[in-house]
């Protein structure tokens, strides 16, 4: 069974590994139901999905009839205006077959133009606040990708008192001093304010080198159990953070298995050796 930690200020003790619903984007309901059995077996009690994750919300919806109380349920809207985000939120509730989600997140809010619109007058944040006031969502978060997202999250946290943030981090990204510094600043702010921190891309190896993709992740992942163990354990050693599983059902058992055996952080020497042997590279182009 997975360790559980307080998910920020929400009052919920979430499994240290959250289920990344992107893995269900193209899944059949039968595959989704087998995934549910796996999640319950490991004690995963937190689902993170999004309106833009293909059929993910539709696949999770049937689970909720019997298991709504078993999961902290989070989704995201990628819309930038209040009107569009409001429609998105209501559609997500219908697809998930619930009256309320625990967390609504502003999805991929990394570009300054998107940020200005979503957090400005008539922006998506207004719809999220409205949803919270109406009891459609309990908490509000913000997510993003790329080398600039940690800095953008600092801006977001200064603009609004978000309950959760989500951003990429792994050993490769930590080698970039600027990103590591920004990440650590966000982490410090979140700890001070009791804001939940979710980590993605922990097992990312780099962009796909060819069109022949062997997994449904948009990046090439680590695949060997030992390497996944190292990557997962390195992240879970960060106090209070949560790891979102990769967007691939075949990798899910390996990530959960790794998380269930977490004891300590691998030595940096071992991580450096893996970085070199797997030729890990940037997912997001050159650091900025």
User: Would the pLDDT of 106 be above 80?
Assistant: yes
User: What pLDDT is stored for residue 280 in this prediction?
Assistant: 87
Q: Identify whether the C-beta of residue 61 lies closer than 8 Å to the C-beta of residue 91.
A: no
User: What pLDDT is stored for residue 35 in this prediction?
Assistant: 98
Q: Which residues contact 176 (CB under 8 A, 6 or more apart)?
A: 147, 287
Mean pLDDT of all residues in 211-237? 94
pLDDT band at 230 (very low <50, low <70, confident <90, very high): very high
Pairing label, strands 242-244, 17-20: parallel
Tokens, residue 39 = 């999640």
**Residue 17 belongs to what H/E stretch?**
strand 17-20
Q: What is the mean pLDDT of the chain?
A: 96
The residue among 258, 268, 189 whose CA lies nearest residue 228 is 258
Rounded to whole angstroms, how far apart are CA atoms 1 and 17? 11
- In the chain, which residue ranges form alpha helices assigned H by DSSP? 29-42, 56-67, 82-96, 112-118, 124-133, 149-159, 171-174, 177-193, 225-236, 252-260, 268-277
User: Would the pLDDT of 3 be above 90?
Assistant: yes
pLDDT band at 249 (very low <50, low <70, confident <90, very high): very high
User: What pLDDT is stored for residue 209 in this prediction?
Assistant: 83
Rounded to whole angstroms, how far apart are CA atoms 156 and 246? 25
pLDDT band at 286 (very low <50, low <70, confident <90, very high): confident
For the chain, how long is the longest CA-to-CA vector?
52
User: Would the pLDDT of 4 be above 90?
Assistant: yes
To which residue do tokens 């289920």 refer? 19
User: What pLDDT is stored for residue 285 in this prediction?
Assistant: 86
List domains and CATH numbers for the chain.
4-277 (3.20.20.100)
Mean pLDDT check: name the lowest of 23-37, 156-170, 211-225, 241-255: 211-225
Query: What secondary structure letter does DSSP report for 24?
Result: G
> pLDDT tens digits for 39-95?
999 999 999 999 999 999 999 999 999 999 999 999 999 999 999 999 999 999 999
Tokens, residue 64 = 């909720």
Q: Which pairs from 79-82 meet CB under 8 Å and 24+ separation?
A: 79/124, 79/127, 80/114, 80/117, 80/118, 80/123, 80/124, 81/117, 81/122, 81/123, 81/124, 82/122, 82/123, 82/124, 82/125, 82/126, 82/127, 82/130
pLDDT band at 212 (very low <50, low <70, confident <90, very high): confident
Mean pLDDT of all residues in 99-114? 97
Angle between helices 252-260 and 29-42 (to 10 degrees): 0
Percent of the chain with pLDDT over 90: 94
**Alpha-carbon torsion, ordered 231, 206, 170, 227, to 10 deg:** 10
């Amino acid at each position: 069974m997975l360790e559980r930690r307080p998910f920020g200020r929400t009052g919920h003790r979430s499994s240290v590994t959250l289920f990344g619903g992107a893995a269900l984007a193209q899944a059949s309901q039968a595959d989704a139901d087998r995934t549910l059995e796996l999640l319950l077996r490991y004690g995963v009690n937190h689902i993170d999905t999004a309106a833009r994750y293909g059929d993910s919300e539709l696949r999770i919806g049937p689970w909720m009839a019997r298991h709504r109380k078993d999961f902290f349920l989070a989704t995201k809207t990628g819309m930038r205006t209040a009107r569009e985000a409001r429609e998105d939120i209501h559609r997500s509730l219908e697809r998930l077959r619930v009256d309320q989600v625990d967390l609504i997140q502003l999805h991929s809010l990394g570009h300054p133009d998107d940020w200005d619109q979503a957090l400005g007058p008539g922006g998506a944040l207004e719809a999220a606040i409205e949803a919270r006031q109406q009891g459609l969502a309990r908490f509000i978060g913000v997510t993003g990708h790329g080398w600039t997202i940690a800095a953008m999250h600092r801006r977001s946290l200064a603009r609004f008192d978000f309950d959760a943030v989500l951003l990429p981090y792994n050993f490769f990204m930590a080698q970039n001093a600027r990103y590591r510094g920004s990440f650590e600043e966000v982490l410090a702010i979140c700890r001070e304010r009791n804001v939940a921190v979710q980590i993605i891309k922990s097992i990312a190896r780099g962009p796909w080198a060819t069109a022949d993709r062997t997994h449904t992740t948009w990046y090439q992942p680590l695949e060997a159990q030992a390497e996944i163990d190292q990557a997962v354990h390195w992240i879970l050693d960060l106090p209070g953070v949560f790891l979102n599983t990769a967007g691939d059902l075949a990798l899910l058992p390996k990530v959960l298995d790794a998380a269930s055996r977490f004891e300590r952080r691998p030595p940096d020497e071992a991580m450096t050796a893996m970085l070199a042997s797997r030729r890990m590279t940037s997912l997001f182009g050159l650091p900025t």
